[in-house]
Structure 1
């Protein structure tokens, strides 16, 4: 709002300066040592008032109601009529003030004027050009102001749309994960009380992160990795020894801001489709840093009874996460999905520029 206020008043200042400059140009005598009659300044004041009125009539009435309503012919006719009105008004003012004869005497003081000789008012082409210039400047500024306002409105609506969509996407975190984890922890209490306490503490830390740490637009990479580590640890509670899970993290971690819970769907997808209670399987999660580029590599074994369908993935979902990437990092990421590698794995590679 402050920028809009400054810009609009800046435009007003430019308008007044331009009109004042035009007045000075038309008021400048051919020789500075000539004493002009008072009627000349009266005419210039009237002309200046006509220009100011025409300027704001055009910017507040003709342009909004005709030009912006696609009535170009009507706008052209109204503008031409305004020019004709100003020119005729100047001619009438000249005649009323007897200005042609007074100006002739001012520039030719030694010339005797015959009583029968009258200097008639004529149309000044400079006034026509200046009036057209006033209309042009007024139209241009009005168009620029409208373009600026429309741009601000579009950007505000786009920000609101993106914010709403991102909030919706973040809210789609699969609640089944928490219920399933609680069920696993409950079963664990029958076997190992100490481990179940640690699992509950981990789950509470994750829920606290989801509820409080992800409210802003970004979080630190280290916190995101800690959240993913907690997720992996909890998921291991439900796995058998036939599943191998590897989580490679950068050492040391150089903290950079990232969108919260952006990597989790790919990890969640690997646990959903790459885990078997009967067959050996593996899940690999790797994060690397190269300057401002963060790379995520997630691989899981392809199982015969599992079918990789993006739309059916749990949690936020891979398709929705791609949408988040488009909204948050347009042109700043590359995402490669290999449905079957030579090692019979499903692989997701994400390179994200967080600069």
Structure 2
């Protein structure tokens, strides 16, 4: 942008000189020397202000000091420039006496000041864009750190629940204990490695959920219906990892934890173009509050914050808490 501006400035000067030669013989070599000297002085003043005086003003916020520091070299360089131009154009000026009139000095100062202000505005624009870029970078780093913190909170919560299950199976000497350990190993691999990615294929998230359901089934009555339905191709969709597990955990914890024969859970995932619908419905044990308890509330708050950070203005969360059932519907708009 700077090079383009100065090229336009020099071209305009040469055009102006050619128009006002009034039919006299015109030496383009002299015109280029004249224009080059004018350009050099103007650039010197403009960039002294750009690189030295403006940064000092922005650092100290003292306009009086800035004005004094700028005006002294400005007046000096304008005076030198006027005398240099008088020397260069003497004998071939396109208007008799013009370069020796006070108006010429005023004109040079005004034009130069205008250019200095314009170049200064470029400095302000550059600083603003750099500051805005740094601000966005800091915000992104903050969001990344917060997301990592929120994901880190999921791991202990999950391990706590799973270790409780392992303890129960080991205590009852269940032959399924080794199967639980294998499922847990697969889930931990997903949590440790895949969850570090910004997004993962939905198929991996579903595999994680299926392992979780299999693990939970080991401690439940086989007659409890747990329906998991998927529509669409989950391999073609990317989602934030561990975004679906919170509602699934709540469904098992508060809907079927006592092996109630009337308990049930329905899980539904639908993928349609750029939309992903995730719905969990479960029976609700009497006198159970899913989201007001401390542990469940933390999990739900964690999930909402992750959705706000990962899917800003791209998700819709609906919760329907009835006396005998609990329903959650999450609609994601995928990039």
- Is TM (by shorter chain) over 0.5? yes
1:25-174 to structure 2, matched below 5 A, reads 25=15, 27-28=17-18, 30-31=20-21, 34-36=25-27, 44-67=35-58, 70-71=61-62, 84-93=75-84, 97=87, 99=89, 102-103=91-92, 120-124=100-104, 126-173=107-154, 174=157
**What's 1:205 paired with?**
186
**What's 1:348 paired with?**
328
**Residues 60 and 307 (structure 1), Cα distance of their counterparts in 2 relative to 1, 3 Å cut:** same
For 1:42 and 1:13, the matched residues in 2 are separated by 19
Q: 8 Å contact 1:270–1:298 — kept in the other structure? A: yes
**Counterpart among 215, 219, 236 of residue 217 in structure 2:** 236
For 1:38 and 1:333, the matched residues in 2 are separated by 68
Is the partner of 2:264 in helix, strand or coil?
Answer: strand
1:304 aligns with 2:295: no
**Residues 72 and 107 (structure 1), Cα distance of their counterparts in 2 relative to 1, 3 Å cut:** closer
Q: 8 Å contact 1:298–1:347 — kept in the other structure? A: yes
**What's 2:309 paired with?**
327
**What's 1:339 paired with?**
321
**Residues 72 and 18 (structure 1), Cα distance of their counterparts in 2 relative to 1, 3 Å cut:** farther
**Residues 322 and 201 (structure 1), Cα distance of their counterparts in 2 relative to 1, 3 Å cut:** same
**What's 1:261 paired with?**
242
Shift of 1:235: 1.3
In structure 2, list runs of 5 or more residues that go unmatched.
Answer: none
For 2:169 and 2:232, the matched residues in 1 are separated by 31
Aligned length, in residue pairs: 329
Q: 8 Å contact 1:269–1:313 — kept in the other structure? A: no
Shift of 1:24: 3.4
More helix by share: 2
**Residues 232 and 42 (structure 1), Cα distance of their counterparts in 2 relative to 1, 3 Å cut:** same
1:76-117 Cα deviation digits (max 9, x unpaired) = 67666666555433443455x2846x245x668xxxxxxxx9
Shift of 1:261: 0.5
Q: 8 Å contact 2:250–2:290 — kept in the other structure? A: no
**What's 1:4 paired with?**
none
For 2:58 and 2:233, the matched residues in 1 are separated by 61
For 1:254 and 1:94, the matched residues in 2 are separated by 73
**Counterpart among 206, 214, 219 of residue 225 in structure 1:** 206
In structure 1, list runs of 5 or more residues that go unmatched.
Answer: 1-10, 109-116
**Counterpart among 162, 176, 179 of residue 160 in structure 2:** 176
For 2:235 and 2:102, the matched residues in 1 are separated by 79
1:331-353 Cα deviation digits (max 9, x unpaired) = 11111122227xx3222110001
1:103-156 Cα deviation digits (max 9, x unpaired) = 45x668xxxxxxxx9983332365344313321321121112112211221121
**Residues 235 and 81 (structure 1), Cα distance of their counterparts in 2 relative to 1, 3 Å cut:** same
TM (normalized to structure 2)?
0.83
Q: 8 Å contact 2:14–2:35 — kept in the other structure? A: no
For 1:67 and 1:22, the matched residues in 2 are separated by 32
For 1:232 and 1:287, the matched residues in 2 are separated by 15
For 2:41 and 2:316, the matched residues in 1 are separated by 60
For 2:98 and 2:9, the matched residues in 1 are separated by 32
